[in-house]
Amino acid sequence: MIGHKRRLGRFFDTEKNITMILPMDHGVSEGLISGLDEMGRFISGLSQTPVRAVVLHKGMAMEYSSHLSFNQNLVVHLSAGTKHGIPSYNKSLVCSVQEALRLGADAVSVHINIGNDLEDRMLADLGMVIDEAHQLGLPVLAMIYARGGQIINELDPALVAHCIRLGAEMGADMIKVPFSGEGKVFARAVGNCPVPVVIAGGPRQNDFENFCVMIKKAIDSGARGVSIGRNIFQHPKPFEALDKLWKFMSG
């Protein structure tokens, strides 16, 4: 088996064949937001949860990856951009695949936004990362969103389906997109995608019960898991929220 495919298999629950990924890379784009204050202690507390992987930028990976349990994977996020940038949807590579591997990464991730005047450069970055990561045996999580001057509604089912297809065409090993809420088009896109698709959580939702119902609908439509940050680490009881979400996903 090719190395990056073997590593990717470790991300999925052996019984349910789904995954729960916790991105904690928001400090670059958002600054010191609530929920990311004591990252070492928080990551240590994940050992008894269903979380299969944590996404960190290289600086936090250097400091806190040792807090992950043995069966949890480290994803080093290679791209960055802040909410203050012009334009705010710009994402640039800030870490190499080689550096991520040196830090102990089990996978790398790249964020790209399509439908804007920087799309060509972000696509080129993704293509380069996929080539380099596969040469080193690392899987690539592609986080793909439709954002920018040409986009009116980033949750348009056709746009979300395009993001899924784009990730597959580029050679990503796992694709993260928002859930459009429309199951039929989403299911067709996922059903014709040769690699797993996971769902983004987006901004924190006030009604966690409804949020879990939305995630369950995405799973029923073919999603293989979630990559959710703010709706977990900003929850008043994040570890209980993880257990509750997992029950919805795997039930």
Whether 176 sits among the annotated catalytic residues: the reply is: yes
Which residues have C-beta within 8 Å of that of residue 91, sequence separation ≥ 6? Answer: 79, 80, 81, 110, 111, 112, 113, 122, 125
Residue 173 burial (C-beta neighbours within 10 Å; 0-12, 13-18, 19+)? buried
Task: Scan for tokens 């240590």, then name that residue.
Answer: 44
Rounded Cα distance between 141 and 251, Å, is 25
Whether 25 sits among the annotated catalytic residues: the reply is: yes
Q: Which of 91, 106, 173, 176 is catalytic?
A: 176
Phi, psi of 194 (to 5 degrees): -80, -5
Under a CB-based contact definition with an 8 Å cutoff, are residues 173 and 138 in contact? Answer: no
Continuous H helices in the chain? 3-9, 26-30, 39-44, 58-64, 97-102, 119-135, 157-170, 183-191, 208-220, 230-233, 238-250
Question: Long-range contact list for 163-169, CB < 8 A, 24+ apart?
Answer: 163/114, 164/189, 164/190, 164/193, 164/197, 165/189, 165/192, 165/193, 166/114, 167/142, 167/193, 167/195, 168/193, 168/194, 168/195
Whether 145 sits among the annotated catalytic residues: the reply is: yes
Rounded Cα distance between 152 and 245, Å, is 30
Q: Which of 25, 106, 125, 173 is catalytic?
A: 25
Q: Which of 89, 91, 145, 173 is catalytic?
A: 145
Residue 124 tokens read as 């080129």
List active site positions.
25, 145, 176
